[in-house]
Amino acid sequence: MIKPIADCPECLGQGYIQGSPGYKKCVCVYKQEAIEYLTPLYNVPGQIPKGFDVAGFARNLVFEAVVPERFRSFVKSFLLSSAMKYQHQTLKALDIIQAYVKPWSKLEAHPFSKLYDLDFLIINLELDPHNNFYGETMQSLIETRIQNKNFTWINSRYAIASDTFKKAYQTEFSYFLSKPPFLTAVVRKMV
């Protein structure tokens, strides 16, 4: 269904590259998948079109510059379409830092470690007060979530490659989100 780009300089149209061990999917295939999965979000007002494969959204995704109301209604539509089988939580970068710095308690699980096991974590990156630790805190959280096979959606009001994003959430984090397993909304239409 999803084809590699014929003149891709990385995989020469094969769709995979030598990894260790074995072969791994080429980034050009990830980009095609991003277009496939994320286009409906931009074309239909916040709704997943009928017959669209909702399961495709069960992965790590970056949504760039989506109108907040549209994104919220998309999330709602996704959760309803997936029969609400997913545990989910929506947080801001500041919420994650606050969970991280909360003292450990012997009586209950650390609030930060609870975030490792949520099926879906949706992080809204918009208008957070300045903090130099957003990037590394979110990255370490997401890396553990990836190991645990849980999915994270990043919704950013800025393009993740933009200077504004890098200034707010650090350059390393921008780079982390720009490569697999994250798929970025490469189709960008402000509506």
User: Quick one: 35 or 101, whose CB is closer to Zn ion?
Assistant: 35
Helix (H, G, I), strand (E, B) or coil at 63: strand
Residues 6+ apart with CB under 8 A from 171: 135
- Under rule CB under 5 A, residue 138 binds Zn ion: no
34 touches Zn ion by CB under 5 A: no
* Given 2, 10, 24, 119, the residue binding Zn ion (CB under 5 A): 10
Separation of alpha carbons 189 and 186, rounded Å: 9
Q: Cβ closer to Zn ion: 30 or 86?
A: 30
CB 155 within 8 A of CB 74: no
Residue 28 near Zn ion by CB under 5 A = yes
Size of the site for Zn ion (CB under 5 A): 6
Quickly tell me which residue has 């697999």 as its tokens.
Answer: 180
Cβ 29 to Zn ion, closest distance in Å? 6
Query: Between 98 and 137, how does the x/- string for binding to Zn ion read (CB under 5 A)?
Result: ----------------------------------------
Query: In the bound complex, what is the minimum distance in angstroms from residue 95's beta carbon to Zn ion?
Result: 37
Residues 6+ apart with CB under 8 A from 43: 49, 189
d(CA 101, CA 112): 8
| 185 binding Zn ion? (CB under 5 A) | no
Determine if 11 is a binding residue for Zn ion (CB under 5 A).
Answer: yes
8 binds Zn ion (CB under 5 A): yes
Contact stretch for Zn ion (CB under 5 A) within 7-15, 77-85, 115-123, 183-191: 7-15
What is the length of the chain? 191
Q: Where are the beta strands (DSSP E) in 79-160?
A: 88-92, 120-125, 151-156
Residue 114 CB neighbours (<10 A): 12
Does the footprint of Zn ion cover residue 62 (CB under 5 A)? Answer: no
Q: Which residues bind Zn ion (CB under 5 A)?
A: 4, 8, 10-11, 26, 28
